[in-house]
Amino acid sequence: MAPYKYPEGTIVVKETYKNKEVWEKKGKKVLTVMIKQADGTSPETGDWGYIMGAKGKLSTGTSKWAKFCTKCHVFAASKDYVFMNADFIKTLE
């Protein structure tokens, strides 16, 4: 089991930019959302659902967007698929 295990219903929201240049210029951003699902709901994504953009729908399992998101988030599997958490942020202080 991962050292971090977020409870069902946890929501993580972040800003996403098309590329580094857009980010540096504070250009157009899209909000992306992760929502922790019930255990066993989506084992392919660590039981996370992903939403991209305001009109996005929840993607889980082997759907196109779930596979796209999980390609990177799998590298944070030991932290329940979340790259940053409170312990990590403390190291930046």
Q: What is the pLDDT of residue 71?
A: 92
Q: CA–CA distance from 45 to each of 2, 19, 31, 35, 74 (Å)?
A: 14, 24, 19, 11, 8
Model pTM above 0.85 = no
Q: What is the pLDDT of residue 1?
A: 46
Please state the rounded mean pLDDT for residues 80-90: 78
Buried b (16+ CB within 10 A) or exposed e, 64-80: ebbeebbeebeebeebb
Q: What is the pLDDT of residue 37?
A: 97
pLDDT band at 56 (very low <50, low <70, confident <90, very high): confident
The distance of Cα 44 from the centroid of its chain, to the nearest Å, equals 13
Query: Where along the chain do its domains lie?
Result: 11-83
What is d(CA 82, CA 87) in angstroms, rounded to the nearest whole number?
12
Q: What is the pLDDT of residues 15-42, one digit of tens each?
A: 889 899 998 999 999 999 999 999 999 9
Q: Kind of pairing, strands 48-52 and 11-17?
A: unpaired
Q: What is the pLDDT of residue 22?
A: 92
